[in-house]
């Protein structure tokens, strides 16, 4: 297998000392994905066509992932986590924004061309449901071998040796490589999915709810395996999960997303110990032993704002926020750093 790509460096601007800073593994700036919804040919009363309504799935997201870093992405259903993931894996084109991977612009590569881009091998996904994500007509060996054949050009003995090596890394007995998905347990299918994802020695592994479909006991085993693999192989993780306990245990940093935007980001221990955004505080309060003592759960009243053409001049959490005030309807909060590395988008953040 080829060695991981070297870390490119960002040169200092002209006239400044020549020290170089390593570029982060991934740097996303101002990423937006708006989906046009059908306006059904509506006409305004004066005959002009109505403007197409736009669903703001991801709406101005900045995020960086460092080398070997594990970043958690949390937020309620529909807030845009998977859409953001699809922008990063370049299966979806952003409406605007920049995405740099190892210092190189990947937003400029059209989603349909990304399969041939050199970065494709280095960004891999582990999917939520191993049953859905594995081809029922492929034996485990073929599932793991496919990206090695198509993207690394391996064949014959070299291909077999690499498949065996990866199976060993995910602790999948080689005897199971001949089996089809319906002949494997949930945990074994999860190992096949992980083996396929790490086969090309990626630098970034994106895990979208990787254990949500598994029994609790199997979940723990697979999470341990993921933590070990990260250390052994030096990968970075973007870990999408509804399970805040998992994020707290596995992630160095956490990003909290609400209706297309990051509302809080910071070191996981700090965010969990002292959430500063009212939404994060409410999320954590629902987890026994995490957000506070039993009986202190913060229940959010009111309906979420629609993601279709939301008012750009008000906070999207207003209406559900226990701390909302009139000012929050006149000015949309931007992410601001309240402590080193800990940023919050709220006009009236909670005290530390």
Ligand X SMILES: Nc1ncnc2c1ncn2[C@@H]1O[C@H](COP(=O)(O)OP(=O)(O)OP(=O)(O)O)[C@@H](O)[C@H]1O
Site of interaction with ligand X (CB under 6 A): 35, 55, 57, 77-83, 307
Q: Taken in order 80, 268, 125, 142, is the CA torsion positive or negative?
A: negative
Q: Tell the smallest beta-carbon distance from residue 79 to ligand X (Å).
A: 4
Q: What letters, b where the CB count within 10 A reaches 16 and e where it falls short, cover 212-249?
A: ebbeeebbebbbebbeebbeeeebbbbbbbebbebbbe
Q: Which stretch binds ligand SF4 (CB under 6 A): 111-119, 286-294, 298-306, 310-318?
A: 310-318
Taking the C-alpha atoms of residue 279 and residue 303, their distance in angstroms, rounded to an integer, is 14
Which is nearer to ligand X, 121 or 316 (by Cβ)?
A: 316
Q: Read off the DSSP letter of residue 49.
A: B
Which is nearer to ligand X, 83 or 285 (by Cβ)?
A: 83
Taking the C-alpha atoms of residue 24 and residue 238, their distance in angstroms, rounded to an integer, is 14
Which is nearer to ligand SF4, 52 or 348 (by Cβ)?
A: 348
Helices 140-152 and 186-198 sit at what angle, rounded to 10 degrees? 10
What Å distances lie between residue 44 and 180, 224, 306, CA to CA?
A: 56, 58, 22
Is residue 81 part of the contact set for ligand SF4 (CB under 6 A)? no
Q: What residues numbered 231-290 form the site for ligand SF4, per CB under 6 A? A: 278
Q: Tell the smallest beta-carbon distance from residue 278 to ligand SF4 (Å).
A: 5
Q: Tell the smallest beta-carbon distance from residue 306 to ligand SF4 (Å).
A: 16
Which is nearer to Mg ion, 81 or 191 (by Cβ)?
A: 81
Q: Which of 317, 335, 338, 343 binds ligand SF4 (CB under 6 A)?
A: 317
Among ligand X, ligand SF4, Mg ion, none, residue 278 binds (CB under 5-8 Å by kind) = ligand SF4
Among Mg ion, ligand SF4, ligand X, none, residue 141 binds (CB under 5-8 Å by kind) = none
Which is nearer to ligand SF4, 193 or 278 (by Cβ)?
A: 278
Q: Tell the smallest beta-carbon distance from residue 109 to ligand SF4 (Å).
A: 36
Closest CA to 291 of 307, 278, 301: 278
Residue with tokens 């049953």: 131
Residue with tokens 């999320």: 283
| Contacts with ligand SF4, residue ranges (CB under 6 A) | 278, 315, 317-318, 321, 323-324, 328, 333, 346-348
């Amino acid at each position: 297998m080829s060695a991981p790509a070297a870390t490119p460096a960002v040169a200092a601007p002209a006239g400044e000392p020549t020290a170089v800073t390593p570029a982060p593994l991934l740097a996303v700036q101002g990423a937006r994905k708006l989906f046009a919804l059908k306006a059904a040919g509506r006409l305004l009363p004066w005959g002009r066509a109505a403007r197409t309504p736009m669903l703001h799935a991801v709406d101005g997201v900045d995020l960086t992932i460092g080398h070997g870093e594990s970043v958690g992405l949390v937020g309620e259903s529909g807030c845009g986590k998977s859409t953001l993931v699809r922008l990063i894996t370049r299966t979806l084109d952003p409406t605007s924004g920049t995405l740099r991977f190892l210092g190189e612009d990947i937003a400029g590569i059209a989603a349909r061309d990304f399969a041939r881009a050199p970065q494709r091998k280095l960004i891999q996904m582990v999917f939520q449901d191993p049953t859905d994500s594995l081809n029922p007509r492929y034996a485990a060996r073929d599932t793991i071998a496919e990206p090695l054949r198509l993207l690394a050009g391996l064949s014959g003995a070299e291909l077999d040796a690499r498949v065996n090596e990866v199976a060993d890394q995910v602790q999948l007995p080689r005897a199971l490589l001949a089996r089809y998905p319906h002949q494997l347990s949930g945990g074994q299918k999860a190992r096949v999915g992980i083996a396929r994802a790490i086969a090309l020695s990626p630098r970034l592994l994106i895990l979208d709810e990787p254990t949500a479909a598994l029994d609790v006991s199997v979940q723990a085993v697979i999470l341990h395996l993921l933590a070990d693999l990260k250390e052994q192989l030096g990968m970075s993780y973007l870990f999408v999960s509804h399970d805040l306990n998992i994020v707290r245990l596995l992630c160095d940093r956490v990003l909290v997303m609400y209706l297309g935007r990051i509302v809080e980001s910071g070191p996981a221990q700090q965010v969990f110990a002292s959430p500063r955004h009212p939404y994060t505080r409410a999320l954590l309060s629902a987890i026994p032993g995490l957000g506070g003592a039993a009986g202190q759960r913060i229940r959010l009243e009111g309906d979420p704002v629609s993601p279709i053409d939301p008012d750009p001049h008000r906070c999207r959490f207003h209406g559900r926020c226990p701390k909302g005030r009139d000012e929050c309807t006149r000015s949309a909060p931007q992410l601001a750093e309240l402590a080193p590395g800990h940023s919050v988008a709220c006009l009236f953040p909670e005290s530390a």
